[in-house]
Structure 1
């Protein structure tokens, strides 16, 4: 009964925030898209399509996370990535690349 009084929108955002913090990558200052496997051909193509500044920022976050991991340390809590600040910079580009590849494969199949 008490749970029915809590709006579903609040529950989903609260649950989302809890899961985000439990994942642990934010303690190293990483964003969600920093974790995408960059050995996939679609991701490699997507990385060539985004601007140089974004690539440099991504590389810095990854190197800082590796250094912290080696030191068995995490960032101070005020420097952790917050869910509100985490933006998907690579995912839309990867989706577009995959869509283009699938269209190209479909076209090649037909002709």
Structure 2
């Protein structure tokens, strides 16, 4: 799995751009609707990739259980065509990445492995 390029660092360096884009980002996150189902952003990452499966295996047991619970509850709500009561929506403070850091670590490990596997040894004359 390749990590998508991010503009976050460039935006963070420019306070005026951050001030301009923060309301748009907030609106977009709310419009996505996953928080109304009790999900977190990392719950939306598909489990079809081998790297994601490896990252999921590295999750602590409690975090893994919570992820499965949130996904199953959201599926049930989707089947019933309902959303959670507003008090149970995922709040912005709770929507912290828990899988993305592990995926970044796996990507770094893979690039390091590739670098070491393609290492060439030069002999001195």
The TM-score by the shorter chain falls in which range? 0.7 to 0.9
What is the aligned-residue RMSD (CA, Å)?
A: 1.6
**Corresponding residue number in structure 1 for 2:61:** 52
- Once the two structures are superposed, residues 40-95 of structure 1 have per-residue CA deviations (whole angstroms, 9 ceiling, x without a partner) of 11111111111000000000000000000011111112211122220100100001
Bigger-Rg structure (1/2): 2
Match of 1:70 among 75, 79, 82: 79
* Matches of 1:46 and 1:77, distance apart in 2: 31
Does 2:52 align with 1:43? yes
**Corresponding residue pairs, total:** 105
Match of 1:29 among 38, 49, 52: 38
**Corresponding residue number in structure 2 for 1:20:** 29
Match of 2:89 among 54, 63, 80: 80
Q: Please, what TM-score do these two structures have when normalized by structure 1?
A: 0.85
- In structure 2, stretches of 5+ residues that fail to align are 1-15, 121-125
Structure (1 or 2) with the greater helix fraction? 1
**Corresponding residue number in structure 2 for 1:4:** none
Check conservation: 1:47, 1:55, Cα contact below 8 A. yes
Q: Please, what TM-score do these two structures have when normalized by structure 2?
A: 0.76
Runs (4+) of structure 1 moved beyond 2 Å?
7-13
